[in-house]
């Protein structure tokens, strides 16, 4: 929430309603092979807001998306499945992002340029 407040302001945040969140959740679940996204360097570097190493956004393309589920009874139902996404950077290197929707949503966004 702090990121949203800092990025868009408190007045914008106060206007958010339930249907906005529903639309965001629906959009979030449409990531597919071939999509262009930008990922943050905080996926592989320690980045803090007041640190010399600043957050950067790097363009890439989604090359695979898969869902993994754990059926063990000891794992809470909400944590049983997570989505893994493999991306390819423009230099050809690849990176796997586990929990792309579940716990790494903050570290990627739709590409602003096509």
Judged against a pLDDT cut of 70, whether residue 34 lies above it is answered with: yes
pLDDT, tens digit (0-9, with 9 covering 90-100), for 47-83: 777 767 788 899 999 999 998 887 766 666 656 788 9
Tell me: do 17 and 70 sit in the same domain: no
Tell me: do 94 and 68 sit in the same domain: yes
Tell me: do 22 and 43 sit in the same domain: no
Give ∠ CA 98-101-106 in degrees, rounded to 5: 95
Q: Distance between CA atoms of 112 and 96, rounded to whole angstroms?
A: 21
Give the residue carrying structure tokens 């958010």. Answer: 16
Tell me: do 47 and 16 sit in the same domain: no
- Name the most confidently modeled range: 29-33, 45-49, 67-71, 88-92: 88-92
Residues 2-26, mean pLDDT to the nearest whole number: 73
Tell me: do 95 and 39 sit in the same domain: yes
Buried residues in 48-63 as b, exposed as e (16+ CB within 10 A): eeeeeeeeeeeebebe
The pTM assigned to this predicted structure is: 0.66
Q: Which domain holds residue 5?
A: 1-30
**Total of domains in the chain:** 2
Q: Which residues contact 99 (CB under 8 A, 6 or more apart)?
A: 82, 83, 84
For residue 112, the SS3 value is coil
| Cα→Cα distances 36→13, 41, 66, 88, Å | 27, 16, 17, 10
Tell me: do 105 and 62 sit in the same domain: yes
Tell me: do 42 and 82 sit in the same domain: yes
Tell me: do 59 and 44 sit in the same domain: yes
């Amino acid at each position: 929430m702090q990121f949203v407040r800092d990025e868009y302001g408190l007045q914008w945040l106060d206007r958010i309603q339930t249907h906005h969140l529903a639309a965001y959740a629906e959009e979030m679940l449409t990531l597919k092979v071939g999509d262009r996204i930008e990922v943050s360097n905080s996926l592989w570097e320690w980045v803090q807001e007041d640190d010399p190493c600043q957050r950067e956004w790097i363009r890439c393309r989604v090359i695979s998306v898969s869902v993994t589920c754990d059926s063990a009874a000891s794992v809470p139902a909400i944590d049983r499945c997570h989505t893994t996404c493999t991306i390819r950077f423009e230099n050809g290197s690849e990176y796997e992002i586990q929990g792309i929707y579940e716990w790494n949503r903050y570290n990627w966004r739709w590409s602003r340029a096509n």
